[in-house]
């Protein structure tokens, strides 16, 4: 019995090599090691290696309390069998620029669907127009609440700082807000997605993070990225705020390329978006590329900005790296 008590179940999590967006992978290691050891996997089965040289390496970078089956969740970076940073490892590049002075709040939107891809509540056809569903209450207005709430509790138990959750504008659509500092903000977002997928398995429900799973007069799904650094939070000015927005506008095309696939289906200029081929910013403007929260000028131009362009399927490592590298240029 004493020997069994020292055994740990570690759930290793990593991003695979699929395109245009990576998928999450996991496997469980049973070990007596005090800290998660490096491990390996078959990269030829995840689009990360050829069969003749298939070993890839998992390097633990963040450990969480396990809220479900495993004792701990272990988020990993991927290396090649030669101990070099794998080309699919977007975290390594982000970690080089994302320091803890940078705070992020990611607003992850998604749909719950059945196995056929129909959003919950859409199985018998298109529901009535959106209007009652946002932050809705009642059987006719909400689908999937229990899964959302179980997910919220699991994230909090794991140590992920979810700051809120709500039903979104379309039936079966939800959002949660994930706050973090530095690279851990993006780590937490990926692990929160992992927990969402895994919990949905228990309900025989799928999670769809495509930015526009339903065409027509329906909101798409985004992942608005709220961000700030020390100066923005404590010594901000209108000039600094404007400069950051202008710099983001100058690299708008590069930003869009890093913000998720099929985003053109969502960024149409309708449904609280700016058109993908245009850039704008404004105070309290949810139809802009960058929204300046109304509290920022009210508080003397200190606070955060909200980049509303990232798609719901975007990689938070890439998003954070683009925002920070661009924002830093505003100080030069």
259-269 residue pLDDT tens: 999 999 999 99
Q: Centre a 10 Å sphere on the Cβ of residue 231 and count the other Cβ atoms it contains.
A: 15
- Secondary structure of residue 272 in the 3-state scheme: coil
Residue 13's nearest CA partner among 29, 24, 2, 21 is 24
User: Measured between alpha carbons, how far is residue 265 from residues 21, 217, 271, 320 in Å?
Assistant: 16, 12, 11, 22
Domain presence at residue 205:
yes
pTM: 0.96
Last residue within a domain, chosen from 57, 88, 119: 88
On whether both 54 and 110 belong to a single domain, the answer is no
Residue-level pLDDT at 42: 97
142 and 276 assigned to the same domain: yes
Above 70 in pLDDT, residue 330? no
> Does residue 283 belong to any structural domain of this protein?
yes
Find the mean pLDDT for residues 108-135: 96
Segment 290-308 shows an average pLDDT of: 97
Give bridge partners of residue 175 from the DSSP assignment.
109, 166
Same domain flag for 32 and 83:
yes
- Taking the CA atoms of the chain, what radius of gyration do you get in angstroms? 20
User: Same domain, yes or no, for 20 and 79?
Assistant: yes
pLDDT tens readout for residues 244-253: 999 999 999 9
200 and 299 co-located in one domain: yes
Boundaries of domain holding 134:
103-331
Task: For residue 85, give the DSSP letter.
Answer: B
| pLDDT surpassing 50 at residue 2 | no
In a domain, 234, yes or no: yes
Q: 154 and 74, same structural domain?
A: no
The residue among 88, 122, 144 that closes a domain is 88
Question: Is residue 281 located within the same domain as residue 137?
Answer: yes
172: phi > 0 → left, psi -120 to 50 → alpha, else beta; which?
left
Per-residue pLDDT tens over the stretch 54-73: 999 999 999 999 999 999 99
Q: Are residues 84 and 110 in the same domain?
A: no
Query: What percent of the chain lies above the pLDDT cut of 70?
Result: 97
Which residues, in sequence order, are bridge partners of residue 59?
Answer: 77
pLDDT band at 332 (very low <50, low <70, confident <90, very high): low
CATH code of residue 259: 3.30.590.10
Listed residues 39, 60, 88: the one ending a domain: 88
State the pLDDT at residue 231: 95
Specify the pLDDT at position 214: 93
H helix or E strand, kind and range, residue 61: strand 55-65
Closest CA to 72 of 80, 81, 62: 62
Q: Say how many domains are in the chain.
A: 2
pLDDT at site 328: 77
**167 lies in the same domain as 201:** yes
Per the prediction, the chain carries an average pLDDT of 96
Q: What is the pLDDT of residues 153-194, one digit of tens each?
A: 999 999 999 999 999 999 999 999 999 999 999 999 999 999
CATH code at position 15:
3.10.20.70
With a cut of 90, say whether residue 150 has pLDDT above it: yes
Q: In the prediction, which pLDDT does 329 show?
A: 65
pLDDT at 331: 59
Distances (CA, A) of 299 to 144, 213, 256: 38, 38, 30
In this prediction, residue 327 carries a pLDDT of: 86
The dihedral region occupied by 262, where left means phi > 0, alpha psi between -120 and 50, and beta the remainder, is left
């Amino acid at each position: 019995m004493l020997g069994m008590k020292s055994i740990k179940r570690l759930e290793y999590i990593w991003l695979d090599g699929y395109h245009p967006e990576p998928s999450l992978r996991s496997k469980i290691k049973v070990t007596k090691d005090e800290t998660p050891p490096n491990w390996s996997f078959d990269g030829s089965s995840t689009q990360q290696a050829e069969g003749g040289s298939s070993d890839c390496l998992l390097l633990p970078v963040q450990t969480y309390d396990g809220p479900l089956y495993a004792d701990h969740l272990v988020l990993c970076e991927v290396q090649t069998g030669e101990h070099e940073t794998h080309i699919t490892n977007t975290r390594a590049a982000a970690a080089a620029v994302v320091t803890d002075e940078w705070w992020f709040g990611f607003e992850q939107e998604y749909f719950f669907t059945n196995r056929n891809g129909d959003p919950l509540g859409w199985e018998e056809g298109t529901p009535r127009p959106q209007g009652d569903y946002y932050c809705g209450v009642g059987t006719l207005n909400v689908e999937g609440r229990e899964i959302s709430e179980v997910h919220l509790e699991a994230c909090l138990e794991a140590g992920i700082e979810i700051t809120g959750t709500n039903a979104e504008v379309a039936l079966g659509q939800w959002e949660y807000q994930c706050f973090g500092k530095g690279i851990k903000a993006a780590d937490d977002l990926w692990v929160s997605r992992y927990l969402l997928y895994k919990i949905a398995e228990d309900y025989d429900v799928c999670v769809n993070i495509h930015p526009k799973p339903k065409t027509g007069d329906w909101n798409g799904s985004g992942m608005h990225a709220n961000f700030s650094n020390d100066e923005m939070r404590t010594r901000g000015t209108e000039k600094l705020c404007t400069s950051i927005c202008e710099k983001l506008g100058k690299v708008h095309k590069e930003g869009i390329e890093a913000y998720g696939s099929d985003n053109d289906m969502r960024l149409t200029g309708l449904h609280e978006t700016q058109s993908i081929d245009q850039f704008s910013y404004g105070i309290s403007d949810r139809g802009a590329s960058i929204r300046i929260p109304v509290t920022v000028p009210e508080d003397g131009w200190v606070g955060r900005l909200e980049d509303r362009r990232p798609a719901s399927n975007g990689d938070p490592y890439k998003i954070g790296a683009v925002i920070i590298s661009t924002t830093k240029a505003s100080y030069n």
